[in-house]
Chains A and B, each alone.
Chain A
Amino acid sequence: MFAPDIKFTRFVLFANGLVPAALLAWDAYQRKLGANPIEFATRATGVLALVFLFVTLAVTPLRKLTGANWVVKLRRQVGLYAFFYACLHLLTYVWFDKFFGAREIVEDVWARPFITVGMASFLLLVPLAATSTSGMIKRLGGKRWAKLHKLTYVAAVGGVIHFYMGVKADTTIPLLFAVVLALLLGYRWVRSRMDATPKSETLGIQTPPR
């Protein structure tokens, strides 16, 4: 079984995760983000957060379908990148859109479902990032930790709904994200159904008549 040098692979992943942020910062510095750079940065970081979140959700199917068990060792890092981009996304809103105006932010969260859903999805990621260390996994115990981290599914669904609600008319891209998410979550559902079914039935073995 192929198993790469995990330390080096983690480093490659670390570098790759920084590439979009670096290019975004570079384009901003070069004033190449178009007429509305802040809108662009908000959109880009939001999409990136979802992309990284989807990659974490792709780890389990990938592992089970290919047998490449080592990919699970990279998941935490991808998840933290999802959180990193979600933080940047929230920051563009809190800083460059609301200029830290607490009242306006509260009003938005309260009265605008688009913002409510986005904020809730972000808040769900906070405990996940906080419990991502090996120490926290030990303290929580594997089972409880795994249960808590099922919140990823909720955050991903919320993130896609937030994306969908944020566009005026052209829902093509948010719907594309919804389809991908449905596949990622659908895989788990099918798998759990298959696991729940007694083996004898699935194999079509019948008890011989006596």
Chain B
Amino acid sequence: MLIKKPDDIKSSEITDKKLYLTRRNFMRGVALAATTAATGLTYRRFAVPAPPPVKGEKIEGVQAAEQATSFPPPPGEARTSYEEITNYNNFYEFSTGKSEVAGKARGFVTRPWAVAVEGMVGKPRVFDLDDLLKLAPLEERVYRMRCVERWSMVIPWVGFPLAKLLSEVEPLGAAKYVAFQTLLDPKQMPNQRSDVLEWPYVEGLRLDEALHPLTILASGLYGETLPPQNGAPLRLVVPWKYGYKGIKSIVKITLTDKRPPTTWNIAAPGEYGFYSNVNPKVHHPRWSQAKERRIGEFGMRDTLPFNGYGEQVAQLYAGMDLRVNF
């Protein structure tokens, strides 16, 4: 059989084999580079690097806390770095991504700021924040912070005992609990438009827990004003309880005789109780609470009952079954 060569292609126009192969290899290189770059960029879109932290203003006249109420970090319990404390935050009002909160909270307006203290008190009052911060000398309190997600930090807070504020308003004898409420402002806190939790965020303590000298209202960390992502301008710190008890950006404090509702307990009552004391022995349906990862460390540490503050606070719960009242 004869195969006829087409006449319309001159032999001079036929691409040289070497050139053809070079071109083919070039195209292959382009295809490889383009697809891997696209895959890499897609990955990067979802794995967003944390923004650099914004420094707060220096707070003047911060005192060292008395020995009894601070926890002098023993060797091997170094303070968590400022960068980590301010770039890894659970603050669902801004974002449910812990490394995204800092960016979303930038520019959060904290002045003027009013805190209403009301309910079963002799002298209900709306405090201007700057007046409130003058009620007592600001102290540095270095506390462990244990999140229910099994990570922990050591944070040098600046604040003063909640008891000082409560004594100003003179709680009535019938008051048994203290309820707290976060600012509700979806314009500033965009994630309040979602329904991941019920807004505004609410928390509560028994009155004796609220009056305990370890319980503080914090307005700063590392000697500087609190950055928005850490709960500016005023937050609660209860170091023997899981982190979510430390309600942020507080606008209202109410004394009451009924146990107040608390946000995470409403969201998942089987997982988050009213007390939420750090307790390695209480079963959690998702994670064992027996161990924790200290941010900045590779291994896991054993979680201590009451987050290591048992000596100071265990007597508050004498006679209670802490597995039932978790």
Q: Please report A residues at the B interface, Cβ cutoff 8 Å.
A: 8, 11-12, 15-16, 19-20, 23-24, 27, 32, 34-36, 38-40, 44, 47, 96-97, 99, 104, 107-108, 111-114, 165-166, 168-170
Is A107 touching B92 in the complex (CB atoms < 8 A)?
no
Report B29-55 CB contacts with A as 1/0, cut-off 8 Å. 001100110011001101101100000
Q: Does chain A have a CB within 8 A of B6?
A: no
Q: Does B107 touch A at the CB level, under 8 Å?
A: no
Within 76-103 of B, Cβ neighbours of A (below 8 Å) are at 83-84, 87-88, 92, 96, 98-99
Nearest 7 CB-CB pairs, A to B?
A35-B88, A170-B96, A35-B84, A19-B39, A170-B196, A169-B196, A16-B39
Q: Which residues of A contact B43 (CB under 8 A)?
A: 19-20, 23
Most buried by A among B87, B283, B286: B286
Q: Could you list which residues of chain B lie within 8 angstroms of chain A, going by C-beta atoms?
A: 28, 31-32, 35-36, 39-40, 43-44, 46-47, 49-50, 83-84, 87-88, 92, 96, 98-99, 149, 151, 194, 196-197, 267-268, 283, 285-288, 290, 293, 295-296, 298-300
A23-B47, A112-B286 known; A99+B295 contact, CB < 8 A: no
28 A–B pairs (Cβ distance < 8 Å), ordered by A: A8-B28, A11-B32, A19-B39, A19-B40, A20-B43, A23-B40, A23-B43, A27-B47, A34-B87, A35-B84, A35-B88, A35-B98, A35-B99, A36-B151, A36-B293, A38-B293, A39-B293, A40-B47, A96-B298, A99-B299, A112-B286, A112-B288, A114-B286, A169-B92, A169-B197, A169-B268, A170-B194, A170-B196
Q: Pick the residue among A12, A39, A96, A108 that contacts B32 (CB under 8 A).
A: A12
C-alpha gap A21/B102 in the complex (Å): 27
Q: Within 8 Å CB of B31, what residues of A? A: 12
| Chain A residues, CB < 8 A from B44 | 23
Question: For B268, what are the chain A residues with a Cβ–Cβ distance below 8 Å?
Answer: 168-169
- A16 close to B36 (CB less than 8 A): yes
Residues of chain A with a CB closer than 8 A to B267's CB: 169
Query: Which residues from A are CB-within-8-Å of B49?
Result: 32
Q: Which residues of B contact A12 (CB under 8 A)?
A: 31-32, 35
How far, in whole Å, are A182 and B160 apart by their CA atoms in the complex? 53
